[in-house]
């Protein structure tokens, strides 16, 4: 008799718990989604990659536009050159709207990590000619399109950076990249390459996170003593808002995060 009553009480408590659980709004059980800074996806196929980076937004944005640094860290886009109308690389590789690009990609991506000396996989290498159509410095967005007949294949690749707050209340930079495909060949791309392209985009985002956070660690470990940055180094590494400067990025995006190499590079910049 006692066993039956105890069993009844246990079953009753479970039923009550289930009823209470069912009353909790479904939205409260969902993990909050991070708002995207990318424009609305309008392609027949949309492929994305993203990562949360512990680095200032301006530094991440500058690195996105620093195409010359891509061979040092990017397992997907191994080279992205600004060229003239004859496909000759310009001396000044600064991105601008209307600039033509020759992009050498690996689909699927190369094994990580990579650097400038990593050999290509010629069997999976793709070379395209594209054009920068958007550089939105206010909203931290950039886009380029494939130069091909739109009635065959129309693609646009977006990259965006925004500031988000993680679960611990710390500000981080959200890096996002997306490519959209439209046209008769979009279905062919989907059938043959969609999974490999998706892998490439996420590999790029993951490697970018490692690269940028490595730069920040180098700055913190090498140039901070007792939590203070030497004043004469401030103008090189940080701006007035304590963001990594473009000058810093342009030099330090070519290091491999080794303190000695970074120190020698800093001495070189101070001497200039």
- Nearest Cα neighbor of 46 from 191, 188, 182 is 182
For residues 169 and 53, membership in a common domain is answered with yes
Q: Is residue 33, in this structure, part of any structural domain at all?
A: no
Q: Is residue 22, in this structure, part of any structural domain at all?
A: no
For residues 151 and 243, membership in a common domain is answered with no
Domain containing residue 267: 222-271
pLDDT at res. 265: 46
Number of domains the chain is built from:
2
DSSP secondary structure letters along 199-232: HHHHHHHHHHHHHHHHHHHHHHHHHEETTEE-HH
Q: Is residue 81, in this structure, part of any structural domain at all?
A: yes
Q: E strand or H helix at 103, and its extent?
A: strand 100-106
For residues 188 and 131, membership in a common domain is answered with yes
Q: Are 176 and 160 in contact (CB under 8 A)?
A: yes
- Band of residue 231 on the pLDDT scale cut at 50, 70, 90: very low
pLDDT exceeds 80 at position 81: yes
For residues 103 and 174, membership in a common domain is answered with yes
For residues 140 and 246, membership in a common domain is answered with no
Q: Is residue 15, in this structure, part of any structural domain at all?
A: no
CB atoms within 10 A of CB 226: 4
CATH number of residue 149's parent domain: 3.30.530.20
Q: Is residue 266, in this structure, part of any structural domain at all?
A: yes
Average of per-residue pLDDT values in the chain:
79
Q: Is residue 111, in this structure, part of any structural domain at all?
A: yes
Lowest mean pLDDT segment, chosen from 8-17, 134-143, 252-261: 252-261
- Band of residue 32 on the pLDDT scale cut at 50, 70, 90: very low
For residues 263 and 144, membership in a common domain is answered with no
For residues 55 and 129, membership in a common domain is answered with yes
- Report helix, strand or coil for 71: helix
Contacts of 271 by beta carbon, 8 Å cutoff, 6+ apart? none
What pairs with residue 209 in β-bridges? none
CB atoms within 10 A of CB 231: 7
Q: What are the E-state strand segments in 116-270?
A: 125-136, 141-146, 154-165, 171-182, 224-225, 228-229
What pairs with residue 135 in β-bridges? 142
Q: Are 200 and 105 in contact (CB under 8 A)?
A: yes
For residues 194 and 228, membership in a common domain is answered with no
Query: pTM for this one?
Result: 0.73
pLDDT exceeds 50 at position 263: no
Q: Is residue 138, in this structure, part of any structural domain at all?
A: yes
For residues 178 and 197, membership in a common domain is answered with yes
Q: Is residue 20, in this structure, part of any structural domain at all?
A: no
Task: Point out the domain boundary residue: 190, 211, 232.
Answer: 211
For residues 50 and 75, membership in a common domain is answered with yes
pLDDT exceeds 90 at position 75: yes
For residues 244 and 109, membership in a common domain is answered with no
75 or 169: which leads in pLDDT: 75
Between CA 260 and CA 272 the distance in angstroms is 19
Helices 186-223 and 57-65: angle between axes, nearest 10 degrees: 130
- For 138-152, what is the mean pLDDT? 93
Lowest mean pLDDT segment, chosen from 75-79, 117-121, 159-163, 268-272: 268-272
pLDDT exceeds 60 at position 191: yes
For residues 195 and 230, membership in a common domain is answered with no
């Amino acid at each position: 008799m006692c066993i039956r009553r105890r069993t009844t009480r246990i079953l009753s408590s479970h039923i009550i718990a289930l009823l209470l659980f069912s009353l909790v709004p479904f939205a409260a059980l969902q993990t909050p989604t991070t708002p995207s800074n990318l424009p609305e996806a309008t392609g027949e196929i949309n492929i994305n990659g993203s990562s949360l980076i512990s680095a200032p937004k301006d530094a991440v944005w500058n690195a996105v536009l620093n195409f010359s640094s891509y061979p040092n860290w990017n397992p997907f886009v191994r080279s992205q050159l600004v060229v003239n109308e004859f496909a000759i690389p310009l001396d000044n590789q600064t991105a601008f709207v209307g600039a033509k690009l020759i992009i050498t990609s690996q689909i699927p991506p190369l094994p990580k990590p990579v650097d400038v000396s990593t050999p290509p996989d010629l069997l999976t290498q793709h070379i395209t000619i594209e054009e920068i159509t958007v550089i939105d410095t206010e909203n931290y967005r950039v886009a380029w399109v494939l130069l091909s007949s739109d009635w065959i294949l129309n693609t646009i690749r977006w990259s965006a950076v925004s500031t988000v707050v993680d679960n611990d209340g710390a500000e981080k930079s959200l890096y996002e990249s997306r490519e959209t495909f439209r046209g008769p060949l979009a279905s062919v791309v989907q059938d043959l390459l969609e999974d490999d392209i998706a892998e490439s985009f996420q590999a790029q985002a993951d490697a970018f996170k490692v690269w940028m956070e490595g730069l920040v660690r180098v700055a913190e470990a090498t140039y901070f003593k007792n939590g203070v940055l030497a004043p004469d180094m401030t103008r090189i590494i940080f701006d007035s808002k304590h963001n990594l400067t473009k000058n810093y990025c342009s030099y330090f995006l070519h290091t491999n995060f080794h303190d000695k190499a970074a120190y020698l590079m800093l001495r070189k910049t101070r001497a200039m």
